[in-house]
A and B are shown apart, each in its own frame.
Chain A
């Protein structure tokens, strides 16, 4: 079945540091890949997505590239801000009926001033 593995947190960074959160996946066929963000006390918000190999999703300074050869979709940001503190979830959506999302375990990011 489908599965997503992402690095365990928490990840603690200083403001303006470079961020990488690793995500790898296992899936049959050609899934779509997503990063969702959950700010404290809020629901899940789509951060970015990529629907085919070599696509790069980007939003709010975050980027992730769909790498089929390494089955990865690592999240990066060049300069994090305190307001980026949240839990980040990598997810995939397969080609099966219903196309539900399979989530990774989430990575908590804490950015200190």
Chain B
């Protein structure tokens, strides 16, 4: 079964450093998402991406975050200058079309900011 893959599975970074989390969505999917889950808390929406642009973003997704689809397969989340509170599991997800279809999640990337 096709799946969303994410790398790295775990990254430890120093506060203030830039981090890039990578995702390969399911190949024929058109909508891409990033979510995050701070340890023990709710899964929160960050951003959705369609047709090479952001279609929606949450209040969490401020200027230190950016997303990019640099080629036909990868979808990246960049955090420009990490803060301690950015420590979380980051999930990439993809979806074939907008309505009615399932969103498929990757296994997540654990980010620890020290």
Could you say which residues of chain A place their CB within 8 Å of the CB of B91? 43-44
Identify which of B14-22, B63-71, B72-80, B94-102 touches chain A: B94-102
Could you say which residues of chain A place their CB within 8 Å of the CB of B103? 46, 93, 100-101
Could you say which residues of chain B place their CB within 8 Å of the CB of A58? none
Query: What separation, in Å, do the CA atoms of A103 and B93 have in the docked complex?
Result: 14
Contact across chains for A44 and B43 when beta carbons are under 8 A apart: yes
Q: A32-B100, A98-B31, A103-B42 are in contact. Are A44 and B105 (CB under 8 A)?
A: yes
Q: Which bucket holds chain A's interface residue count?
A: 20 to 34
Q: Tally chain B residues at the interface, Cβ within 8 Å.
A: 25
Contact across chains for A100 and B105 when beta carbons are under 8 A apart: no
With CB as the reference atom, state the residue of chain B lying closest to A93: B103
Task: List chain A positions with a Cβ less than 8 A from chain B.
Answer: 32, 34, 36, 42-46, 49, 51, 89, 91, 93, 95-106
| Residues of B contacting A: mostly | strand
Query: What separation, in Å, do the CA atoms of A104 and B41 have in the docked complex?
Result: 10
Which 6 pairs across A and B sit closest by C-beta, in order of nearness? A98-B48, A43-B107, A98-B56, A44-B105, A98-B55, A103-B43
Query: What separation, in Å, do the CA atoms of A97 and B100 have in the docked complex?
Result: 13
Contact across chains for B50 and A89 when beta carbons are under 8 A apart: no
